[in-house]
Amino acid sequence: MVTVHADTQETVIVLTPNRSASWSQTKILLWILCPFVLLVALAWSLSGAWLILPFAGLEVGLLSYLMYRVSQQSYRREVITITANDIRVQQGLRYPNRLWRLPVPDTYLHVAQGALHHDLPDLTLSAGQIRLPIGRFLNQPDRLETRQQLAQAGLMVCCNRWWQQ
C-alpha cells in the first residue's frame, strides 16, 4: 500500500505490504485450527493409527511458525522522505530502523522491467555507488504507483527498457 503526504517543504511516501489479517486475527485462526487438527489426530491414534500424532504435532508447530513469520513480515514498512536537499529512506519492521540519506541531484529511480509482461518491475534508488532496492514487498499496481509518486516528487526515472515507458 502506498500512502503519500506532500506539502511545499517535503514529500513523504510510506510503503507497506497489503495485510489481510492482523496478528490477533491470525492467532484466532490458529486457536481454531490447531485444536481441530489435534482432535482428529487423537481420534486416529485411539483407533490404532498412533503414528499420526507426531506428524499432527509437527503440522501444528510448522503452521504456527509459518503464520507467525508471514504476519511479522506484513508489518514491514519503508518511509521515503524527499526534501530539496536530500532523500531519506527508512526501512524496517513496524518502526523503521535502517536509515539511508541520498543527495537529491545525484539520485535517480532505476526501474528494471522483467522479461515477461507479468513480471514485477524492480525499483532501485541509485546515487553514485549506492543501490537501494525499495518496495520489494509491493504488488504490481503499488509498484507502479510508487514509481509515479517518486516521479511526481521530482526524481528522475530511468528504465532498462526505455521503449516501454
Q: Which three cell numbers stand for residue 135?
A: 518496495
Residues 40 and 86 in one domain: no
Same structural domain, 63 and 117: no
Average pLDDT of the chain, as a whole number: 88
Q: Between 122 and 114, whose confidence is greater? A: 122
- Over residues 48-102, the pLDDT tens digits come to 888 899 999 999 999 999 999 999 888 888 999 999 889 999 988 866 678 899 9
In a shared domain, residues 92 and 151: yes
Pair 82, 125 in one domain: yes
Burial of residue 27 (CB within 10 Å: 0-12, 13-18, 19+) is middle
Domain endpoint, select from 31, 46, 73: 73
Give the domain CATH number at 129: 2.30.29
- Which of these three, 73, 90, 115, is where a domain ends? 73
Cα–Cα distance measured from residue 129 to residue 102, given in angstroms and rounded to the nearest whole number:
11
- Percent residues over pLDDT 90 in the chain: 48
Q: How many domains does the chain have?
A: 2
Residues 90 and 158 reside in one and the same domain = yes
The Cα–Cα gap between 100 and 89 comes to 5
**Co-location of 79 and 158 in the same domain:** yes
Q: What does the pLDDT read at residue 133? A: 93
Nearest to 85 by CA among 7, 165, 163, 10: 10
Same domain, 83 and 60: no
Question: CA–CA separation, 12 vs 149, rounded Å?
Answer: 10
Q: Does 139 lie in the same domain as 101?
A: yes
- What pLDDT sits at residue 119? 81
Q: What is the mean pLDDT of residues 33-40?
A: 91
Please indicate, yes or no, whether residues 53 and 43 belong to a single structural domain of this protein.
yes
Shared domain check, 127 and 90 = yes
CA distance 90 to 96: 5
What's the rounded Cα separation, in Å, for the pair 57 and 146? 43
Please check whether residues 126 and 62 belong to one and the same domain: no
Q: What is the mean pLDDT of residues 136-161?
A: 89
pLDDT for res 106: 87
Residues 29 and 81 in one domain: no
In this prediction, residue 163 has a pLDDT band, given cuts at 50, 70 and 90, of low
pLDDT band at 115 (very low <50, low <70, confident <90, very high): confident
What whole-number percentage of the chain has pLDDT above 70? 96
Is this structure's pTM higher than 0.85? no
Question: Exposed, middle or buried: residue 154 (CB in 10 Å: 0-12, 13-18, 19+)?
Answer: exposed
Position 13 confidence tier, pLDDT thresholds 50, 70, 90? very high
- All three cell numbers of 40, joined, read 482428529
Joined together, the cell numbers standing for residue 11 give 514529500
Q: Which domain holds residue 83?
A: 2-19+75-164
The residue behind cell 489481510 is 20
Q: Is the pLDDT of residue 164 over 80?
A: no
Please report, for residues 56, 58, 117, 125, the alpha-carbon distance to residue 62 in angstroms, rounded to integers and kept in the order given.
Answer: 10, 6, 35, 37
